[in-house]
Structure 1
Amino acid sequence: MTASQAGRRAPRSAFVPSPVFVGILALTLVSGWMTWTTFGNVKVDVFLLVICGWLLSLCLHEYAHAIVAYFSGDHEVADRGYLRLNPLKYTHPLLSIVLPIVAVVLGGIGLPGGAVWVNHEHIRSKARQSLISLAGPLTNVVFALALAVPFLVGLGPQVEDGTLTGSAEHIEFWAALALLAVLQITASVLNLVPVPGLDGGNILQPWLSPPYQRAYNLFAPYGFILLFVLLWQSEINRFFFTFVYWIAEAIGVEPGLSALGFELMRFWSNN
């Protein structure tokens, strides 16, 4: 691609949300209604709401990277379809979609995943390169805060010291919402850890000296695997969730409610 091609503006159609994203959004809304009304098997409803809501946040996370990259000079992201919020266009569907869903189902962890590819040759500013990497985690932070609003304003159930003290009406919906909020917190924290290859590391990478950048690039392909393995270590996992639940409580989300959401989501379990 020539410099003139990279510098051209994308057509409006490049910004139109894809049918795949619209479908995920529709499924999220429908499963939310099903959970609110306890339609059919409410545990299946919770599962669909959490998974669809998580997929929605994954799309927005990667879109944030792409749109900031576009306005920072890399217009190739439009040609790759990244501006249409289509997760099927990601460079690593297994890491970007399948593995994060598995992590949610098995461990209630919002794992980050490799997805959109940005051509940094078109990004001349170190600050803009860092901002591109920061845009994704900031989306998770905003998502977490938005999900916490109903709890902060008192719309959700009242919980004190892990015990439900108010009405249990629509408890399944609120538990799913609390779990989604906690997933966004886990994603925010993990994405900001300065591990090579992840957003936190990529924020710092432009500012490293050439020798350190070479070392960074050497370890970057293995950063995600290393993080995944570490999180399954009991002591690290316990410390991580203690920190996550501390943040959740600070923004009004009761950890016990999210734990209920996790139990309900695993509809195949006997719990």
Structure 2
Amino acid sequence: MTTAATRSSDRRISPVFLGIAAVMAVSGWAVWTDFSANPGVAVFLFVTAAWIVSLCLHEYAHARTALHSGDISIGGKGYLTLNPLKYTHALLSIVLPVLFVIMGGIGLPGGAVFIERNRIQGRWKHSLISAAGPLTNVLFALACTAPFWLHALDGVPATFVYALGFLALLQITAAILNFLPVPGLDGYGVIEPWLSYKIRRQVEPFGQFGLLAVFAVLFIPSVNAGFFDLVDTVLSGLGIPSDTNITAWGQNLYRFWTDQSPFCQP
């Protein structure tokens, strides 16, 4: 018997996602070939499109893991098509993360796929569903930094190197923030199944404010500096030392209309 979750139409990649991926590919080609008269415009389009692609893959990872864990309703909700317009809160999953990148060069975690948790048995499965999204950002970061830690940058145009470095920074910031054990973020979703029912009920009302709290705390100078020190440490481990200023150059190219950023401290 064919269920809603196994219909081919539920798994067919959305034209919306394919369009975004096409923008990423074309703008990436423009960055590589220096086709645009203003390289910042090409970098902006490439990084923004790639960032949206990574957000779609983040949500897809949540949904796919939930499907294989027992929530067969996932397919009928359109989450397996990679269409960002199918998310429960497109504003939280796509619009706000993109705005934060434009404003300050930080990979704000989104997240809005509705999973029917009552269909899923086993705490490990619940934890894995929550972890699947930020782990996708980790894999994306590894892909972006592969030319650096593989020492394969010969022949790669400098502008493309800067764009990759900045995109890697976004993925790392998103992964770190999303893994924080803060209600409303995936990190809390990882540990939530292991908490007592009493604690979960006490914490539940604060879930909707978790992201806002993280946003507010990042404005504290000492926290902001410590956070980006951690990001720089991870980037250095992946072959992009902070003293090369690769991510700073990438951010400056991306934000071609201004050199100022309220978040990043290059």
TM-score by shorter chain over 0.5:
yes
Alignment of 1:72-83 (within 5 A): 72-83=69-80
Alignment of 1:246-261 (within 5 A): 246-255=233-242, 256-261=245-250
Whether the 8 Å CA contact 1:178–1:254 is kept in 2: the answer is no
Deviation at 1:220, TM superposition (A): 0.7
> Aligned residue for 2:11?
15
> Aligned residue for 2:31?
35
The residue type paired with residue 7 of structure 2 is: P
> Aligned residue for 1:162?
none
Segment of structure 1 superposing worse, 253-262 or 186-195: 253-262
Residue among 126, 129, 132 paired with 2:129: 132
Residue among 245, 253, 257 paired with 1:264: 253
Q: Secondary structure at the match of 2:6?
A: coil
The residue type paired with residue 212 of structure 2 is: I
Which aligned runs of 4 or more in structure 1 are off by greater than 6 angstroms?
none
Segment of structure 1 superposing worse, 80-89 or 246-255: 246-255
Whether the 8 Å CA contact 1:77–1:83 is kept in 2: the answer is yes
> Aligned residue for 1:25?
21
Task: Report Cα offsets for 1:128-158 as digits up to 9, x if no partner.
Answer: 011000000111111111111111122237x
- Which whole-Å CA distance do the structure 1 matches of 2:128 and 2:138 have between them? 15
Deviation at 1:219, TM superposition (A): 1.0
Deviation at 1:217, TM superposition (A): 0.9
- Which whole-Å CA distance do the structure 2 matches of 1:85 and 1:253 have between them? 30
The residue type paired with residue 22 of structure 2 is: A
Q: Secondary structure at the match of 2:171?
A: helix
- Which whole-Å CA distance do the structure 1 matches of 2:147 and 2:204 have between them? 42
Consecutive unaligned residues of structure 1, counting only runs of 5 or more, are 158-166
Q: Secondary structure at the match of 2:239?
A: coil
The residue type paired with residue 135 of structure 1 is: A
- Which whole-Å CA distance do the structure 2 matches of 1:9 and 1:44 have between them? 40
Q: Normalising by the residue count of structure 1, what TM-score does the alignment of the two structures yield?
A: 0.91
> Aligned residue for 1:214?
201
The residue type paired with residue 219 of structure 2 is: W
> Aligned residue for 1:236?
223
The residue type paired with residue 118 of structure 2 is: E
Deviation at 1:114, TM superposition (A): 2.7
Segment of structure 1 superposing worse, 215-224 or 7-16: 7-16
Deviation at 1:15, TM superposition (A): 1.1
- Which whole-Å CA distance do the structure 2 matches of 1:234 and 1:9 have between them? 47
Deviation at 1:8, TM superposition (A): 5.9
> Aligned residue for 1:65?
62
- Which whole-Å CA distance do the structure 2 matches of 1:78 and 1:112 have between them? 23
The residue type paired with residue 134 of structure 2 is: P
Whether the 8 Å CA contact 1:87–1:93 is kept in 2: the answer is yes
Query: Identity over aligned residues, as a percent?
Result: 47
> Aligned residue for 1:201?
188
Q: Does 1:245 align with 2:241?
A: no
- Which whole-Å CA distance do the structure 1 matches of 2:153 and 2:44 have between them? 19
> Aligned residue for 1:174?
161
- Which whole-Å CA distance do the structure 1 matches of 2:211 and 2:190 have between them? 15
Q: Secondary structure at the match of 2:74?
A: helix
> Aligned residue for 1:52?
49
Whether the 8 Å CA contact 1:181–1:253 is kept in 2: the answer is no
- Which whole-Å CA distance do the structure 2 matches of 1:232 and 1:77 have between them? 37
Segment of structure 1 superposing worse, 207-216 or 250-259: 250-259
Task: Report Cα offsets for 1:102-129 as digits up to 9, x if no partner.
Answer: 1111221101013111010101111101
How large is the Cα RMSD of the aligned pairs? 1.7
Segment of structure 1 superposing worse, 133-142 or 250-259: 250-259
- Which whole-Å CA distance do the structure 2 matches of 1:128 and 1:270 have between them? 44
Whether the 8 Å CA contact 1:205–1:216 is kept in 2: the answer is no
Cα distance, 1:14–1:100 mapped onto 2, change above 3 Å: same
Consecutive unaligned residues of structure 2, counting only runs of 5 or more, are 261-266
Whether the 8 Å CA contact 2:4–2:73 is kept in 1: the answer is no
